[in-house]
Amino acid sequence: MGKVRLNNIRLYAYHGCLEEEAKIGSDYRVDMVVEADLSASAHSDSLADTVDYVHLTKIIKEEMAERSKLLEHVAERINQRIFDELPAVNETTVSVSKLNPPLNADCKAVTIELTKNR
């Protein structure tokens, strides 16, 4: 088994329960770890034998562009698409962070993390 990690993908999106969040949007960060058998690609040096991080990034960007009220909903959609499109993946962990959330407090980020197993 091996892991592919994507760290600190920065995006602008329109998630949240408040109407202002749908209009104004906010900065988000997505981190991801996928677990898969990477032994074939370690020997073949072939992109066809591995989990392509470009494909993972495409899924993240597309799902983050679709508005949700809850970050959990976005993370679940990302996890499910990975399983639907990348059969080599056995486990996913997606963290979605809303940077500078609209709280009445000094808070750098709010993060949810969801793990899904095949």
Which amino acids are annotated catalytic?
98
Q: Which two tokens stand for residue 106?
A: 């000094």
Query: How far is residue 15's CA from residue 73's CA, in Å, rounded to a whole number?
Result: 10
Query: How far is residue 24's CA from residue 59's CA, in Å, rounded to a whole number?
Result: 23
Instruction: Classify burial at 82, counting beta carbons within 10 Å of its beta carbon; exposed 0-12, middle 13-18, buried 19 or more.
Output: buried
List the alpha helices (DSSP H) in 1-114: 19-24, 39-44, 53-65, 71-85
